[in-house]
Amino acid sequence: MSGDKAKLAMSVRRLPDFRISISLEYVKFGYHSLVTHLQKLALIPLATILFVEATRTDSNNLLQVWLLLKYNLLAVLTLSGLLFVGCISYFFTRPRPVYLVDYMCYKPPVLLETGFEEFLSHSRLIGFNDSALEFQRKILERSGLSEHTHVSEAVKCVPPRPTMLNARTEAEQVMFGALDNLFAATGVKPKDIGILIVNCSLFNPTPSLSAMIINKYKLRSNIKSYNLSGMGCSAGVISINLANDLLQVHCNSYAIVVSTENITQNWYFGNRKSMLIPNCLFRVGGTAILLSNRSSDRCHSKYRLLHVVRTHQGANDKAFRCVYQEQDEEGKTGVSLSKDLMAIAGHALKANITTLGPLVLPFSEQLLFLVTLVAKKVFKAKTKPYIPDFKLAFDHFCIHAGGRGVIDELEKNLQLKPEHVEASRMTLHRVGNTSSSSTWYELAYTEAKGRIHRGHRIWQIAFGSGFKCNSAVWQALCNVKPSQYNPWLDCIDRYPVEIVDGIPSRKTLKDHH
């Protein structure tokens, strides 16, 4: 008997501590659900009272109400007129819904693929010194890029030919390649386009890029065309914002936004290490997006634009002069992202999510943020600032694939899970940094995986020079299927790949070969 009691006591001691085993994640989910549906729950007692009172009402009470309205006809008509005018005013002054009919990402030809060894041998033939070559090797191996990214044809030549003609050729191949697929997929005629916006930060020829498109597709003579330049990788969202503003004014219109970058004339041929990093990261790419404010397009559009938020954080001269800082210690040269620049980027992101938060976050998260803020500012409590859980507001995240460090920092600071930044990491791996179009390659990746369903919300986050942090929020209008021109269709079964410290695993390399 004593042995049975001992075994029973041991089994009791081995029982888990349920207070610890209860996941805080479920507690937070319960709190979020309760606060989110609090208004609906509060309406239940009110509706019950109204129902009970309605059942007690007899015909004499209804007759008295009718007589009251009959002898106060002027007041009733006045109130009805004001209500009618208010409804009409709201109808004509409300923002027009903007729909994303479809978009196409440019897929470069296979002959432009450049592996690491080809890249380095090409750099050796150009004339880079041994130190610069070794530096580029280290960057490539730990950048998160694969062996299948693309450079322009002029850069692949030996010697390179960074001429104006070749730069225009690259621009034509990217823009026309994406636009041809866009017109073919949507069936929209070029003559129907009323607004054209092209953003390319570093290449701004005369005639302009928009003029090249207008001449190629014979767009109508009264089209509103714009060229945005010098805004870095955030210009894609800025272009969407401009298109949204124009579509609020011009009814029943189509707008095309073309986001691209040109590397032919922006390749660095010196040996300064901080200047060599863009050579290792930037690759050929571009996107063409078709937007519409026509109500008839809602039924066959992919997304609706919900919000666009733009923030600009003034940078100091030091951050402008030194995006990357070289460090020499004991004869060894390394490179690290400027701390000043990362701090400025952090402030820009903070300003952006502070503006966006009240627009997208559920009331439960806003309440927690407000309570924490009051405790810290009013009662001087030593509490950490509350970081809202944006996973409750968005189903998918498209973070600009500017580099492995950028993705790592946002994953950490926004408390995201690996699956939330998968599209960004795989885009960096497959196509590299394509500047303002990278968030669209990420959206195309998520579509190719079949993960976007009706009602899902997507957050595009873009960073650019200045320092800018811009956001666009889209809502899926249907279960989105990938287009036949989706650039991921031929390789999506091989993704995601496992990447550790920017280096693909051996299994990944074997699968790709």
Total residues belonging to the chain: 513
Same domain, 296 and 257: yes
User: Is residue 14 in a domain?
Assistant: no
The band of 289, judged by pLDDT with boundaries at 50, 70 and 90, is very high
Segment among 149-163, 215-229, 401-415 with least mean pLDDT: 401-415
Segment among 59-73, 127-141, 174-188 with least mean pLDDT: 59-73
User: Is residue 19 in a domain?
Assistant: no
Copy the structure tokens of residue 462.
Answer: 């873009």
Same domain, 442 and 372: yes
Buried/exposed 230-256: b ≥16 CB within 10 Å, e otherwise: ebbbbbbbbbbbbbbebbeeeeebbbb
Same domain, 48 and 173: no
Q: Quick check: 464 pLDDT over 60?
A: yes
Most confident of the following: 75-79, 335-339, 446-450: 446-450
Q: What pLDDT does 335 receive?
A: 38
Separation of alpha carbons 99 and 206, rounded Å:
32
Share of the chain above pLDDT 70, in %: 83
Catalytic (active-site) positions:
233, 312, 396, 400, 429, 433
Separation of alpha carbons 167 and 80, rounded Å:
64
Same domain, 277 and 136: yes
Separation of alpha carbons 273 and 137, rounded Å:
12
For residue 497, the enclosing domain spans 100-512
User: Is residue 27 in a domain?
Assistant: no
Burial degree of 71 (CB within 10 A; 0-12, 13-18, 19+): exposed
Q: Quick check: 322 pLDDT over 60?
A: no
| Cβ–Cβ < 8 Å for 100, 302 | yes
Segment among 19-23, 287-291, 311-315 with least mean pLDDT: 19-23
Burial degree of 191 (CB within 10 A; 0-12, 13-18, 19+): exposed
Same domain, 343 and 451: yes
Gyration radius (Cα) of the chain, Å: 29
User: Is residue 34 in a domain?
Assistant: no
pLDDT tens readout for residues 219-260: 999 999 999 998 889 999 999 999 999 999 999 999 999 999
Q: What pLDDT does 344 receive?
A: 62
Q: In what order do the strands lie in the sheet with 303-312?
A: 224-228, 193-199, 254-260, 286-292, 99-105, 303-312, 468-476, 457-464, 396-399
Q: What pLDDT does 224 receive?
A: 97
Same domain, 146 and 83: no
Greater pLDDT, 437 or 345: 437
User: How many domains does one find in the chain?
Assistant: 2
User: Is residue 433 in a domain?
Assistant: yes
Instruction: Give the number of other CB atoms < 10 A from CB of residue 193.
Output: 23
Burial degree of 419 (CB within 10 A; 0-12, 13-18, 19+): exposed
Task: Tell me the pTM.
Answer: 0.84
User: Is residue 9 in a domain?
Assistant: no
Same domain, 73 and 191: no
Helix (H) or strand (E) holding 224: strand 224-228
Copy the structure tokens of residue 435.
Answer: 């500047």
Q: What pLDDT does 328 receive?
A: 37
Same domain, 348 and 465: yes
Q: Quick check: 162 pLDDT over 80?
A: yes
Q: Quick check: 347 pLDDT over 80?
A: no
Token pair 């811009």: residue: 470
Q: What pLDDT does 327 receive?
A: 40
Q: What pLDDT does 186 receive?
A: 96
